[in-house]
Structure 1
């Protein structure tokens, strides 16, 4: 075992005989990353987060022809995220949250905020206010999260699972009321007088309405299901919400998929009485949407409700009268609707989807519009670029537009799309040197068509070393260009860098991922139910071995999170094919994860599925195949990971050490799952590239 100590020279570009390559790792990662795009309630302003070399700041634009204004002044790569942007009703102020682990599945002990730059001062999750004109500096208001702004200017936020309120100047910060559940999804009534929220409780969730300190909380008619997404009617007299039933409890849910039927309810806000406006079917495909923010429930013009469903195998937009009735599908089929936004007047929906008129658009994203009342969907964008995150404006829509050589910039489409000023990439960004990835397909052993993106080295001849990249999630889709997610933008940059170093790189969209239908995403024996998706990974290597430009004896693999799991699985099951790998914070023992989630005492309450589920989970885990592991591996993990705990890598390292398998490790103190600092990502990518070079280039 060798522990990596990455020195400064390694951090800023690999050295050696190929140092004259046209692309450095620093250049590949110098792109600005854009996220968090939102619009003001009246649609006259938009705001977004722009990150350059780890320095995050917020920008605001007041119209399609206006010069964007930077409204924050942060200057360090300190790993403190900027999230949950929300405008005040008048558009003059913007509120946001700085800090926290907004992607974490587990809270850290003591609810500690991440501290990736090892500051001696404990970081806090803070609510901030910025002037949208940029005339005055942004300032912190209170230690809380998830802001919701009322029409009266009252700011509600969450702290320790309860609702707190604070004034716009940071004064009068206090708990608003007590609820014995854990608060989520706060939504003010249109007039700002009442606050609806989800109260998460043991095994179920319900919706409460707080109307003031002198009034008891009104709970909407409760049931044994999980209620969510409270959405006010324009007149404030009704609330629509989703209700789903969780089905199997305990370990049984890890043995087989069970339909998760759900319904849309409409409640009277004065009495709490609720009635069903629409109900799903009971087949597996009818289950509650499990990606892209759930049902995406909106109350639209014409007293209609809009939502997502994958009942046809493809996640599509539907509408139903708030009074109840049959649902009407608004979008086509054969593609997946992802991000959704409703126009300020409530009559038009904007959405992104992996479809379009260009060849291979199923591996891109474009933005479309459709009327809530129905009709033909209209493309807002088209071509070989990628566009996502629509934010509806008063004169059209804003969106983020990217490509194979550009990580993305904000465009305002009114109706023609134009990139707003001030978003040029740094001069050292190597986008112009990046190759155009190609869509490729092959067959898995069971005959299923698997999709991927191939990065071929420019001008390379002869047989080259090759690398398979497997994404995490797993409900993700890798595209023919940069991703809308920061994690995969970094992965894409590394794949481009590896191609510039002479590797043939194949990014695999394996089963469990999105973009190819509900059935593809939910294989009956996938994940801890049997790991059937591994056949897509080994078949990707067989595809590479069949190519004339690949040396079949020099194929490696790398991936993070679920991709780390699949990397470990590949090395344990097929060291004869995969000659080296980089496993970044992978899950290595499904049964350990189940026990951490569900505990060990359920069997005494009659869970007869426990032993079978744990055994199936174990045989689906990389550690079950460690006896066949021969190839060298680099293990990488942040030791404050709240998604995949570091004990997963500790357990694997112990097994490899005991068996004499060659491995190296890079443990990054204080970093979480999605490495928060640019320097941390650069360290990970540099170590990954260096390791694959040393192992696959003799």
Structure 2
């Protein structure tokens, strides 16, 4: 009997042990369903980090309890007293964004459509406006005696001492009444009335006399400036309050906006969503003006005499040369050159109020000028011209004016340029035109700002490795770059108001973002504040992908992330992931914005796949030549980099050349289609998600930079659009697309579908998601999509038993 009990007990223990092992395996094994759930299962990282105005607290959004929405939390500057912020305290906080006075003792900001003035020492806010209309863009006047802001596109000034508000501009929609009356028939009738009827003459005289008297009684009224139907933007008051500069934007009247139908609606009816124009359609135009309040007149700032404004892009000159060569001498005519369309941004005044600069960009985005402006004469003097036959961009440059500011001597401005091939900091003297590079090397500088005492620059750079972002301090005139952060990965830094502390959002490739605080000193030790990850997420041993490089066919180093199975087999399967956005970096050492894909790659590696994630040509983080390597041919070097990656997998990582697949979304979906259509012997299967199929149907701002426009560079569009190559499909293709995608329209895949049908292709399928936009939001959609992707790879890349 005792023996029987021992056997039973042993059996129970065995069963319990077996159950525990099974439970443990269930806990640590990945599945598509598990990965694609609501991301809260991972834990919610802190975000939106900012300091209190007195520097005693750090605030951030966080959700450690897995609630439906994040809450505001705070922690003291020494990393203690972590707690949720009460609703009362949250409502009392000033807006994060605002403008400080020079002494950093006061701040003006907009909150809920009203303007506030905040005293930092007392912690009290004074409400400047309280209206139904929205007031915005607050700033201090140059003498800091007034708060200047905009309402209904007009500029207002509130006197801090007296509380008086003065309107500084009077922009009005429509045409000036005198201009509207220029009609011969109407003018004749008006003159007849005045000639025949005395009462009409008298009332006209009375009206004119009243208007004259009103002007005498109110001499400070701003001039009426009629802007027709144009949009007023960037209204800026000069230091002596004489000059006001502004931009007028003309929206195209004949542009056609694409419609996206929404089928799953609350009303039960199909509803149309207006989205955007297509590349090459009519675009907005820009004008820049100075309003001289002393002379009570407004005049345009023209770029007709600016160096390079008449220079046509190289691709157009080549086309004209070919056309001239084929035309007879009698047919050839010399066209009068016209200045290219451009937009002027600014104005940026020096702290002493003596100098003003503006930034201009050509509409074709091949030129960016930094120019000195004389507002009294509207004369422009070029200080720096950056020309790129591809397109202007890069960290600190972007698509607008970019980052720019004044040096402490009030004679130089600092800015970013890719002149060296990488985005670096430069200065230029507004008097002598002398330019100087403050940083240099094969790395990029971003997020630059001057210290409050204007003795140093602070910025982020990837100097250590293209896949690491560290925070640096450097003397204002250049010199040693002191690296303040040390942990491998990426650091997003917020300086405390006194600049003695750093609030850091930090992550590594297999560790999501957490909040740290550290002293603003080299080799200081960061203190971790948050622990956001769930036990369920930590139960799995997430891979640290290898960041490798390989040589492309043209000798360029290509960076990539590599995920390898623990027990890789000879001639095993492989998947290549293609990141989206084109100009984006993913082969780095911090937590990816593609976190679902990162987890999916861990899952694939568990299933025996080798996974390669490539920063192909066009990606961010590697300088100008990599960024512009896709100019006039998307699907060229960016695709050949993936073909070279496939060769690497075969030659170095024991992958079967006939068992390689790839997938990606948006730009990644586009590359997947180009790969399946033009390199069918390299890739056996591909999943194209929310993919561009014809660049002539994408937006103007992004596409025209890279491919110019369809009617001026049709060859580039034909070379770069997958729909032209669909007949090359051999392998298995999965296409997935959201039906309410307002970025890459569902029309893209509908047109490609018809093309595949007409070509008689039958080795493809289309999965549609009726409620999804470009970026999916519903876990059910993510799950369905990735189950299909995994099934595609399992059926086409694995040996079937």
After TM superposition, the score normalised by the length of structure 1 is 0.71
- Counterpart Cα distance in 2 of 1:147 and 1:685: 44
Counterpart of 1:671 in structure 2 is 772
Query: Aligned-pair distance for 1:626?
Result: 1.0
Q: Per-residue displacement from partner, 1:641-695 (whole Å, max 9, x unpaired)?
A: 3332221122223333443333344433443333456776566555544544454
- Counterpart Cα distance in 2 of 1:534 and 1:523: 11
Q: Per-residue displacement from partner, 1:105-158 (whole Å, max 9, x unpaired)?
A: xxxxxxxxxxxxxxxxxxxxx9999x99999xxxxx99999963435777758x
Query: Aligned-pair distance for 1:506?
Result: 0.5
Matches within 5 A, 1:75-474: 86-87=97-98, 148-151=137-140, 180-182=229-231, 198-201=247-250, 204-207=285-288, 221-223=301-303, 225-228=342-345, 230-235=347-352, 238-246=355-363, 260-267=366-373, 271=376, 273=378, 275-276=380-381, 278-280=383-385, 282=387, 284=389, 288-294=392-398, 295-303=402-410, 304-356=412-464, 361-388=465-492, 393-396=497-500, 397-415=502-520, 416=524, 418-419=526-527, 421-422=529-530, 424-430=532-538, 433-474=541-582
Aligned partner of residue 32 in structure 1, secondary structure: coil
The answer on 1:475 being equivalent to 2:583 is: yes
Counterpart of 1:513 in structure 2 is 619
- Counterpart Cα distance in 2 of 1:47 and 1:188: 33
Q: Per-residue displacement from partner, 1:273-300 (whole Å, max 9, x unpaired)?
A: 4543621254659x64345553311234
Q: Per-residue displacement from partner, 1:429-451 (whole Å, max 9, x unpaired)?
A: 34862111112222333333322
Q: Per-residue displacement from partner, 1:355-375 (whole Å, max 9, x unpaired)?
A: 22xxxx222222212222222
Runs of at least 5 residues in structure 1 that lack an aligned partner in the other structure: 1-17, 74-83, 98-125, 136-140, 248-258, 600-607
Counterpart of 1:591 in structure 2 is 696
CA pair 199-493 structure 1, distance change in 2 beyond 3 A: farther
1:626 to 726, 731, 748: 726
Contact preservation (8 Å) 1:230, 1:241: yes
Counterpart of 1:22 in structure 2 is 29
Q: Per-residue displacement from partner, 1:23-62 (whole Å, max 9, x unpaired)?
A: 4554685253555556678877765555788845555667
Query: Aligned-pair distance for 1:312?
Result: 0.8
- Counterpart Cα distance in 2 of 1:31 and 1:166: 47
Query: Aligned-pair distance for 1:559?
Result: 1.0
The answer on 1:503 being equivalent to 2:609 is: yes
CA pair 39-350 structure 1, distance change in 2 beyond 3 A: farther
Query: Aligned-pair distance for 1:92?
Result: 9.1
Aligned partner of residue 425 in structure 1, secondary structure: coil
Contact preservation (8 Å) 2:396, 2:423: no
- Counterpart Cα distance in 2 of 1:672 and 1:332: 41
The answer on 1:563 being equivalent to 2:668 is: yes
Aligned partner of residue 656 in structure 2, secondary structure: strand
Contact preservation (8 Å) 1:197, 1:209: yes
Aligned partner of residue 713 in structure 2, secondary structure: helix
- Counterpart Cα distance in 2 of 1:609 and 1:459: 50
Per mean C-alpha deviation after superposition, the further-off stretch among 541-550 and 42-51 is 42-51
Structure having the higher Rg: 2
CA pair 677-145 structure 1, distance change in 2 beyond 3 A: farther
Query: Aligned-pair distance for 1:546?
Result: 2.0
Runs of at least 5 residues in structure 2 that lack an aligned partner in the other structure: 1-24, 88-94, 125-129, 141-145, 159-164, 173-226, 251-282, 304-340
Per mean C-alpha deviation after superposition, the further-off stretch among 391-400 and 57-66 is 57-66
Aligned partner of residue 362 in structure 1, secondary structure: coil
CA pair 597-507 structure 1, distance change in 2 beyond 3 A: closer
- Counterpart Cα distance in 2 of 1:231 and 1:386: 32
- Counterpart Cα distance in 2 of 1:87 and 1:62: 22
Counterpart of 1:646 in structure 2 is 746
CA RMSD after TM alignment: 4.8
Q: Write 1 or 2 for the structure with the bigger share of helix.
A: 2
Contact preservation (8 Å) 1:572, 1:629: yes
Counterpart of 2:44 in structure 1 is 32
1:575 to 680, 683, 690: 680
Contact preservation (8 Å) 1:557, 1:567: yes
- Counterpart Cα distance in 2 of 1:216 and 1:44: 48
- Counterpart Cα distance in 1 of 2:133 and 2:636: 40
Per mean C-alpha deviation after superposition, the further-off stretch among 221-230 and 498-507 is 221-230
Aligned partner of residue 543 in structure 1, secondary structure: helix
CA pair 65-430 structure 1, distance change in 2 beyond 3 A: closer
Counterpart of 2:640 in structure 1 is 535
- Counterpart Cα distance in 2 of 1:676 and 1:215: 56
Counterpart of 2:649 in structure 1 is 544
- Counterpart Cα distance in 2 of 1:499 and 1:491: 12
- Counterpart Cα distance in 2 of 1:234 and 1:400: 32
CA pair 64-647 structure 1, distance change in 2 beyond 3 A: farther
Aligned partner of residue 280 in structure 1, secondary structure: strand
Contact preservation (8 Å) 1:635, 1:666: yes
CA pair 677-57 structure 1, distance change in 2 beyond 3 A: farther
- Counterpart Cα distance in 1 of 2:108 and 2:666: 37
Aligned residues between the structures:
601
Contact preservation (8 Å) 1:335, 1:517: yes
CA pair 620-288 structure 1, distance change in 2 beyond 3 A: closer
CA pair 515-209 structure 1, distance change in 2 beyond 3 A: same
Query: Aligned-pair distance for 1:393?
Result: 4.3
CA pair 70-628 structure 1, distance change in 2 beyond 3 A: farther
Aligned partner of residue 400 in structure 1, secondary structure: strand
- Counterpart Cα distance in 2 of 1:502 and 1:144: 61
- Counterpart Cα distance in 2 of 1:143 and 1:497: 53
- Counterpart Cα distance in 2 of 1:370 and 1:579: 51
Contact preservation (8 Å) 1:300, 1:306: yes
- Counterpart Cα distance in 1 of 2:560 and 2:651: 15
Aligned partner of residue 535 in structure 2, secondary structure: coil
Query: Aligned-pair distance for 1:508?
Result: 0.8
Counterpart of 1:661 in structure 2 is 762
After TM superposition, the score normalised by the length of structure 2 is 0.63
CA pair 32-694 structure 1, distance change in 2 beyond 3 A: farther
Query: Aligned-pair distance for 1:207?
Result: 4.8
Contact preservation (8 Å) 2:428, 2:435: yes
- Counterpart Cα distance in 2 of 1:384 and 1:557: 29
CA pair 426-272 structure 1, distance change in 2 beyond 3 A: farther
Query: Aligned-pair distance for 1:220?
Result: 7.5
CA pair 515-61 structure 1, distance change in 2 beyond 3 A: same
Counterpart of 1:114 in structure 2 is none
Contact preservation (8 Å) 1:229, 1:242: yes
Contact preservation (8 Å) 2:516, 2:529: no
Aligned partner of residue 409 in structure 1, secondary structure: strand
CA pair 311-566 structure 1, distance change in 2 beyond 3 A: same
Q: Per-residue displacement from partner, 1:371-405 (whole Å, max 9, x unpaired)?
A: 22222111121342222465574224444311012
Counterpart of 2:188 in structure 1 is none
Contact preservation (8 Å) 1:208, 1:217: no
Per mean C-alpha deviation after superposition, the further-off stretch among 460-469 and 37-46 is 37-46
Contact preservation (8 Å) 2:108, 2:115: no
Contact preservation (8 Å) 1:442, 1:449: yes
